[in-house]
Amino acid sequence: MTIFNEIFQNQCINFSFAGLLMSTLIYWYSIIFSNQLKLSLGFILTILSNISLSIMLGLRWFTSGYFPLSNLYESLIFLTWGLTCIHLIIEYKTKSQLVGAIAAPVAMFTIAFASLSLPSDMKKAVPLVPALKSNWLMMHVSVMMISYSTLILGSLLAILFLVLSKGKEINLQGSSININNKSNSYNEIELTNTRLTLLESIDNLSYRIIGLGFPLLTIGIIAGAVWANKAWGSYWSWDPKETWALITWLVFAAYLHSRITKSWQGKKPAILASIGFIVVWICYLGVNFLGKGLHSYGWFA
């Protein structure tokens, strides 16, 4: 990789970070002051940041000769790209600035961590180890990273639901909203109809986003199992990454099961989704920082 390519890639990262920082501030300003006119500017800045990341990933793919998902730096950039993509799609469909208000700062901190915290030798494109020289690299890892992006965003909305509801038991059932609180009387609950409608919207949006991310996670795990059999002769070896991927799958399966079969809404499934937020990050980063296994090469040994 030439010096020019490295400089240009760094400039793309810096531009994306600046765009996401400004986008975050605009979204927060819009929510605090209820200024809907600022929404489009934050959306446009996120688009520009996503385009910049796309250029960076495309250039790295062209110069290195393989899909840029072989180490922690590349995967963090791709995760940021995935977060901005999912954010843009959902905001375009829902016209909700809340999505941008929670997605933009997470994407900003992710790219900041990749750019500022990782040592320079981990940012360099290096030849792939034999096990990674496969088309399954793009098919498995890209699907997993997009599923992480989707599940993280859905879980963040669930956390937002818990924050706005102040931990109260709020059961949302269709168009009617029932409020139950064992420690306080009904008259002590100071939630307006507008706020209840907002909570219902957040709860439903979180459910729909997680409902999108879960099939992607399932496909990614299955693709990884097939790739593992081709590379190492075994579909499943209880590697730390595989184990935590299964735990992640079980947590979100429990969330969707509670929503579909038990018709849970409100606080209980939101707590499950919040746990899922932590589990996703452990599966993605924690295993590679603390654990050792087949998935630790190219990252932290």
Domains with residue ranges and CATH for the chain: 1-127 (1.20.120), 164-301 (no CATH)
**Burial per residue of 92-107, b for 16 or more beta-carbon CB atoms within 10 angstroms, e otherwise:** eeeebbbbbbbbbbbb
Q: What is the mean pLDDT of residues 111-130?
A: 78
Residues 195-207 have pLDDT tens digits of: 677 788 888 899 9
Closest by alpha carbon to 286, among 158, 148, 126? Answer: 148
The pLDDT-based confidence of 213 (bands split at 50, 70, 90) is: very high
The tokens for 81 are 């790209």
pLDDT score of 286: 72
Residues 35-56 have pLDDT tens digits of: 655 558 889 999 999 999 999 9
Mean residue pLDDT of the chain comes to 81
Whether the per-residue pLDDT at 222 is higher than 80: the answer is yes
pLDDT score of 297: 47
Rg of the chain over Cα atoms, rounded to whole angstroms, equals 20
Residues 230-272 have pLDDT tens digits of: 877 777 777 778 888 899 999 999 999 888 876 777 778 889 9
Q: Which residue has the higher pLDDT, 208 or 300?
A: 208
Closest by alpha carbon to 69, among 159, 139, 147? Answer: 139
Contacts for 99 with CB less than 8 Å, ≥ 6 apart: 87, 90, 91, 153, 157, 205
The pLDDT-based confidence of 294 (bands split at 50, 70, 90) is: low
What residues form DSSP beta bridges with 13? Answer: none
pLDDT score of 240: 79
Q: What is the mean pLDDT of residues 57-80?
A: 86
Whether the per-residue pLDDT at 104 is higher than 80: the answer is yes
pLDDT score of 298: 42
The tokens for 224 are 């990884």
Percent of the chain with pLDDT over 70: 80
Whether the per-residue pLDDT at 179 is higher than 50: the answer is no
